[in-house]
Amino acid sequence: MAVDLLLGLQWGDEGKGKIVDVLTKNYDIIARFQGGPNAGHTLEFDGIKHVLHTIPSGIFHKNATNIVGNGVVIDPVIFKKELDALKKFNLDIKSILLISRKAHLILPTHRLLDAASEASKGKAKIGSTLKGIGPTYMDKTGRNGMRIGDLELDNWKEKYRALANKHEAMIDFYNVDIQYDLKELEEQFCNAVEELKQLTFIDSEEYLYQAQKQGKKILAEGAQGSLLDIDFGTYPYVTSSNTTAAGACTGLGVAPNQIGDVKGIFKAYATRVGSGPFPTELFDEVGETMGRVGNEFGATTGRPRRCGWLDLVALKYAVRVNGVTELMMMKGDVLSGFKTLKVATAYTYKGKEIMHLPYNIEAENVSPVYKEMDGWAEDLTQMTKVEEFPKALNNYIDFLEKELEVPIKIVSVGPDRTQTIHR
Ligand code: IMP
């Protein structure tokens, strides 16, 4: 039985949480494979809005087992808060949430290092969520990290101390003004670790192998988006993991030939939080309207998201890098009311028109070439079937499908589970 993937194709915040929640009824297992609490997956159902950071978005479905894979980085303090917020739902967390022993731990000093590194960069800062993601992955690849499985050892606190001491020296090296009370942070950390230790730790690659053999249906849930991928994103303004399809293989221990459908999610326009290139960014009232109507504020940091037109050059790149087999277009409803819509179909780069993403897409090198299309005035949020779609929306979808050469199977017209139209 193949493992299907669900991936964000832009700069994150495409609406993966909602779609995983909608799709979970078709799966036995939902598995996160990379990233950490920098993610904010928002789910809305029965009038409740819930934001998840590390816990997979299948958690509200009793039929699904949720796995936090080896490629994820876990902050016990944030994880505990997530668990606390789930208490009111009376879920049997110990049996429906399983954590890989190989997942790495975010220590309080990783968060401090993230802050020190950003402060030292001045204007060149990445715009990190400051959750300690970069420093934790640095310790992972530097072979210094602490893993969930270490918490089962008697000497985990010694391991912790040695690493935290090293981090403190590194924080001093940055020589920036970071105020912190490590004692208090450590107390929080140790309390949270005790709670984390009550959960079920597994060897997730073995678990998933056996589950596949038993014919279980598995969905791997991505975090962030392709353009934030450490290798293929707009480096250095990226996150520190592989957000693209290959990351699911290394982040779960699933072989490439076991991957089935690759579901790619994109917004009908584009957004980005943090710094970095964004060729179709709007600085006018059109962008402001998108942000206001689309409620474009970071689910993790609350920062306003930068907004712009859909960038087909970047989207085609993401479709190719991931091998996307079906698409889902989110937030179509937010574009209602614009008389004219624009879609970037090429860039002007060094005086020439190009159709691919060049090495350096800083604003001064690249300007988008737009195709203009008619907008639609109708409110889409109450629509329940494709037949109700206005002609201009159908034209927009048909144009994108033709350009991307992949079918758009779902159009989302609002944040609620029910506002999801299958084509
Ligand atoms: P970090 O992963 O927290 O270090 O942040 C690196 C970059 O990725 C920053 O520009 C963040 O705003 C962005 N980023 C990280 N996680 C998310 C996410 O879940 N959605 C959107 N952007 C994100």
Active-site pick, 4, 13, 139, 229: 13
Q: Give the number of the atom of ligand 1 that is nearest the alpha carbon of residue 223.
A: 19
CB distance 211 to 67 below 8 Å = no
Reported residue count of the chain is 423
| Backbone phi and psi for residue 69, each to the nearest 5 degrees, phi listed first | -80, 175
SS3 letters across the chain: CCEEEEEECCCCCCCHHHHHHHHHHHCCEEEECCECCCCCEEEEECCEEEEECCCCCCCCCCCCEEEECCCEEECHHHHHHHHHHHHHHCCCHHHHEEEECCCEECCHHHHHHHHHHHHHHHHHCCCCCCCCHHHHHHHHHCCCCCEHHHHHCCCHHHHHHHHHHHHHHHHHHHCCCCCCCHHHHHHHHHHHHHHHCCCEEECHHHHHHHHHHCCCCEEEECCCCHHHCCCCCCCCCCCCCCCCHHHHHHHHCCCHHHEEEEEEEEECCEEECCCCCCCCECCCHHHHHHHHHCCCECCCCCCECEEECEEHHHHHHHHHHHCCCEEEEECHHHHCCCCEEEEEEEEEECCEEECCCCCCCCCCCEEEEEEEEECCCCCCCCCCCHHHCCHHHHHHHHHHHHHHCCCEEEEECCCECCCEEEC
Give the C-alpha separation, 114 to 136, whole Å.
9
Q: Give the number of the atom of ligand 1 that is nearest the alpha carbon of residue 128.
A: 5
| Backbone phi and psi for residue 379, each to the nearest 5 degrees, phi listed first | -80, 125
pLDDT, one tens digit per residue, over 79-128 is: 999 999 999 999 999 999 999 999 999 999 999 999 999 999 999 999 99
Q: Please tell me if the CB atom of residue 54 comes closer than 6 angstroms to any atom of ligand 1.
A: no
Give the C-alpha separation, 332 to 423, whole Å.
14
CA angle (213, 202, 205) in 5-degree steps: 45
Whether the model pTM is above 0.85: yes
If you measure from the C-alpha of residue 154 to the centroid of ligand 1, how many angstroms do you get, rounded to a whole number? 34
Confirm whether 13 is a catalytic residue. yes
If you measure from the C-alpha of residue 401 to the centroid of ligand 1, how many angstroms do you get, rounded to a whole number? 28
The low-confidence residues of the chain, meaning pLDDT below 70, are none
Instruction: Classify each residue of 241-270 as buried b or exposed e, where b means 16 or more C-beta atoms within 10 Å of its C-beta.
Output: bbbbbbbbbbbbbbeeebbeebbbbbbbbb
Name the token pair of 408. Answer: 């758009």
End-to-end CA distance of the chain: 25
Q: Please tell me if the CB atom of residue 228 comes closer than 6 angstroms to any atom of ligand 1.
A: yes
Ligand 1, atom 15, residue with closest C-alpha: 38
pLDDT for 236:
95
- Which amino acid, 263? K
pLDDT, one tens digit per residue, over 204-246 is: 999 999 999 999 999 999 999 999 999 999 999 999 999 999 9
Active-site pick, 41, 50, 61, 110: 41
Cα distances (angstroms) measured from residue 245 to each of 67, 241, 251: 17, 11, 10
Name the token pair of 136. Answer: 């934790």
If you measure from the C-alpha of residue 297 to the centroid of ligand 1, how many angstroms do you get, rounded to a whole number? 13
Give the C-alpha separation, 271 to 42, whole Å.
16
